[in-house]
A and B are shown apart, each in its own frame.
Chain A
């Protein structure tokens, strides 16, 4: 149901783009107005959300530790799983953000007769996730060649690396294959693993379908329905330099692709995709395990009612006296 809802939403978006971009005079809207609006919403939305997060303080020091603490000098600590200083935290965060360390830990539990519980390593989710995210990053960086003139050398390098196998003409990008495969896997996983389908909301399917449509329209343009890249570059450079021009005859497919990207940008700040900036702020990961060494201050540490020793002694003085326990007041 949730999947269907998301699928319909995506079809509506694609259809709208298709119809809209086919109308001759709407290319300014699709080529200039929407992209600018989308990027504005994207940036302000993210900044707004991150500022909103940041205005809530981190009252307590609550890292989840996954290794030996630094205690006695002769006990070997794990600086990346239980970091005791900022460098360790940077390392831990880098492993988490670049290599999905925690997801790599994933196991699968099975209950056999007996009952006997067995835990096996399970890396599929990690693999699907890491392939998708890295492909996505490389593809976004590759697209810089459309926006910049001259093209920065790292983009060119990335381009040739990605097209390393030199299969077909135009050359096949490895990341194109990988991103579609990874997204297919992630979609199928959500649809077929019953437990995952049970927890999935429309908001979980929608970004997957959206990303898949973006990647698919991109692939179609590059390998099957060639569009005029010179036009695309003219438009992109124009947008990038704030001198927008709308070249004629770029093709409807391009506008569908662009509109889907705009949808993603607008959707991003309001959705779970905010896990990208969010992970940097997660207090169980970005704090060092040093709370017995360094003080953490809670800005709203309000006073609470306590039972003082004086009250305690007043309540139990006779009994304490009888038991021979020392008293502050006789």
Chain B
């Protein structure tokens, strides 16, 4: 992937936190190449039966909106105020204390004041005041009210597709105002007049049609899994089974489609295959529900529901007892916080019990869907798998908490427990950048496109900077994570800002360390890289040698 035109030092030197002299309502938005996403492909907009399919680009002066676009948006806003208490409350109670301002990775990396979460929300709030509050109607601009114009719509498009719904600001807000909620609702409003981006619309259309966002058809899915089975055999000498669409299996396994088609996700897939074989899990893959990730959650609540529906539908059709979910970020926000409400109750499934340890996953007794890190941590705790940590000695690992598992689930210790049991060298990044305060990769929520690369590098700067810190201090050369978008977008981010740091899943590390019955002596890790300590990394910086350093 080509980097942004600017070199890292140049880009960094351009980040200024100066404020424009004019008030924020008087600064129109500028669509600068590298900082925005292209519009949705009309073919896919049409396929999804979304409004106003047409060819257009954000840089066009005329966006070809429907004639009554303003009415549509205001009516849509009124409707959502009635349907979402969150929206009503978040519009009314912000005191603009500014605590959120420097918590946003896009603000930190761009210096653009409208990337302060408070300002992002004010873009909507100003319109809300104008049309839905008494003070706004009477005092207008003096009450912070603003007329909804085409320029406002353009600004919405730019800034609400410059938010990755990571919810870091919401942790710091004294009222818990959640920008992700506001962003999703504004994207819904924009969708009503046909204003979408392609890296949301097209993956959604693919997921709708083929079951996964990459548009892989069932036979392609099978090829891919079969190929992985062969490759795993070449590395480990063990031939594993990987049943697909198997009725009557105990467990349905669903993971992001990038795991079987993308790199470095693929090595995590090898890890899953090895692990499930080793514990003799009776499970199945599905081609119909072949996507864990829910791109619908970047577009609208309805689309989120539509795509999510496949998980329970497929579990019911295959007659499994419960569902196991792979490493993914926003997928898990949807599964954890939305799935049961949208498409439940899943009373045709059983309360999840690990067939290996007998552990009941009481925390998933309603949704019947367990996170693979919960599952594996339980295996390790009960001594059901053997791990040879030294096989990961070429990795000096740090862990990036993916936004949604951290701030929607509170899945914080499970992956760390697994890493500590699979690796000898694990180092935490500074505490303001991990766990509930974790920084986004800068490319989530549909923003991970090439055309948006400069903004991604800006937004990813806080994460990259923290990795750089542990690289210099501890010689870290591996960034572990549990999110498919992370795995896709952190590698170019690392290459741009840090260098010499690989990105991979937690279950890749498990797969490396896993001692399998009947395996041959391993000479390489799952990536085919030799199992030796990375000497050059050891020499860099003043690293501490003790394992488990914090």
Is A213 engaged at the interface, CB distance under 8 Å to the other chain? no
In the assembled complex, which residues on chain A have CB atoms less than 8 Å from the CB atom of B81?
56
Known contacts A102-B171, A102-B173, A284-B170: does B288 contact A312 (CB below 8 Å)? yes
Assuming the A-B contacts A72-B378, A203-B135, are A115 and B172 also in contact, with contact meaning beta carbons closer than 8 angstroms in the complex? no
Partner of A309 from the list B89, B314, B465 (CB cut-off 8 Å) is B314
Does residue B176 face the partner (Cβ distance < 8 Å to A)? yes
Contacts of A54 in B (CB 8 A): 85
Q: Looking at the complex, which one of A109, A275, A279 makes contact with B108 (CB distance below 8 Å)? A: A109
Q: CB-CB < 8 A to B412: which residues of A?
A: 67-69
Q: Does B533 reach chain A (CB closer than 8 Å)? A: no
B410 A275 Cβ-Cβ under 8 A:
no
Note all chain B residues with C-beta closer than 8 A to A295. Answer: 340-341, 344-345, 366
| A178 and B378 alpha carbons, distance in the complex (Å) | 53
Docked CA distance A31–B186 (Å): 47
When distances are taken between beta carbons in the complex, the residues of chain A under 8 Å from B430 are 119
What 0/1 readout, one digit per residue, does chain A (96-108) give for beta carbons within 8 Å of chain B? 1000101101111
One digit per residue, 1 when the CB lies within 8 angstroms of any chain B CB and 0 when it does not, for chain A 1-31 equals: 1100100000000000000000000000000
Chain B: how many interface residues by the 8 Å CB criterion? Answer: 118
| Interface-central residue, A64, A68, A77, A316, by most chain B CB under 10 Å | A64
The reply to whether B175 and A285 form a contact with Cβ atoms under 8 Å apart is yes
Residue A320 CB within 8 A of the other chain: yes
Question: Contact between A322 and B219 (Cβ–Cβ < 8 Å)?
Answer: yes
Contact of B363 among A70, A193, A304 (CB under 8 A): A70
* 23 pairs, CB–CB < 8 Å, chain A vs chain B: A5-B142, A55-B82, A56-B85, A64-B408, A68-B413, A69-B410, A102-B171, A115-B15, A198-B23, A199-B113, A199-B118, A271-B135, A272-B96, A275-B93, A283-B85, A284-B170, A284-B176, A284-B178, A291-B366, A292-B335, A293-B365, A319-B217, A325-B222
A69: B residues at CB distance < 8 A? 363, 409-412
Q: 1/0 per position for A37-77, CB-CB distance to B under 8 A?
A: 00000000000010011111111111111111111101111
Within residues 272 to 330 of chain A, which ones have a CB less than 8 A from any CB in chain B?
Answer: 272, 274-275, 278-279, 281-285, 289-298, 300-302, 304-309, 312-313, 315-316, 319-320, 322-326, 328
What 20 new A-B contacts, CB under 8 Å, besides A62-B181, A204-B96, A293-B366? A53-B85, A53-B92, A67-B410, A76-B413, A102-B174, A105-B171, A115-B465, A198-B23, A270-B133, A278-B92, A279-B174, A282-B86, A283-B89, A291-B336, A292-B365, A292-B367, A293-B364, A295-B366, A306-B306, A309-B314
Q: Is B475 an interface residue (CB 8 A)?
A: no
Instruction: Given the known inter-chain contacts A62-B181, A195-B116, A298-B342, please indicate yes or no for A289 contacting B122, CB distance below 8 A.
Output: no
A194–B19 touching, CB < 8 Å: yes
| B residues in contact with A70, CB < 8 Å | 363
* Cβ B175 vs Cβ A325 within 8 A: no
Please tell me if B54 contacts chain A, counting CB pairs below 8 Å: no
Q: Does B337 contact A (CB under 8 A)?
A: yes
0 or 1 for each of B166-188: is its CB under 8 Å from A? (1 = yes): 01001111111110010000000
Residue ID in chain B nearest A317 by CB atoms? B218
| A201→B96 contact, CB < 8 A | yes
Fill in one digit per residue for A170-196: 1 if any B CB lies within 8 Å of its CB, else 0. 000000000000000000000001111
In the complex, chain B residues whose CB is within 8 Å of the CB of A66: 171, 407, 410, 436
Give residues in B with beta carbon < 8 Å to A: 12, 15, 17, 19, 23-24, 49, 81-89, 92-99, 101-103, 108, 113, 116, 118-119, 122, 133-135, 139, 142-144, 167, 170-178, 181, 208-209, 211, 217-219, 222-223, 244-247, 287-288, 301-303, 305-306, 309-310, 313-314, 317, 335-338, 340-342, 344-345, 359, 361-367, 369, 374, 377-378, 381, 406-414, 417, 430, 432-433, 435-437, 461-462, 465-466, 469
How many Å lie between the Cα of A64 and that of B167 in the bound state?
7
Q: Write out the residue numbers on chain B whose beta carbons fall within 8 Å of the beta carbon of A284.
A: 86, 170, 176-178, 181
- The answer for the CA separation of A282 and B84 in the assembled complex, in Å, is 11
Interface check A243, CB cutoff 8 A:
no
Question: Is A117 on the interface with B (CB-CB < 8 A)?
Answer: yes
Q: Is the interface of B mostly helix, strand, loop or mixed?
A: helix
| A35 nearest CB across to chain B (Å) | 22
Q: Which B residues are in CB contact (< 8 Å) with A289?
A: 409-410
CB-defined contacts of B462 to chain A, threshold 8 Å: 117
Which residue of the partner chain A has the closest CB to B9?
A: A115
Q: CB of A167 within 8 A of chain B?
A: no
Candidates A57, A116, A270; contact of B85 at CB < 8 Å: A57
- State the CA gap A252–B116 with chains docked (Å): 45
Report yes or no: B219 in contact with A320, Cβ–Cβ below 8 A.
Answer: yes
CB atoms of A272 and B314 under 8 A apart: no
A103 to B414, CA, bound (A): 28
Answer yes or no: A81 CB below 8 A from chain B CBs: yes
Identify the closest chain A residue to B125 (Cβ): A201
Q: Which of B86, B103, B209 contacts A62 (CB 8 A)?
A: B86
Instruction: Output the least CB separation between A71 and chain B (Å).
Output: 5
Q: Select B410's contact among A65, A72, A100, beta carbons within 8 Å.
A: A65
- Shortest B167–chain A CB gap in Å is 6
Rounded to whole Å, the gap between the CB of A192 and the closest CB of chain B is 12
Q: Which residue of A lies closest to B346 (CB)?
A: A295
Take A119-B430, A201-B143 as given contacts and tell me if A292 and B414 are in contact as well, using a CB distance cutoff of 8 Å: no
CB distance B108 to A71 under 8 Å? no
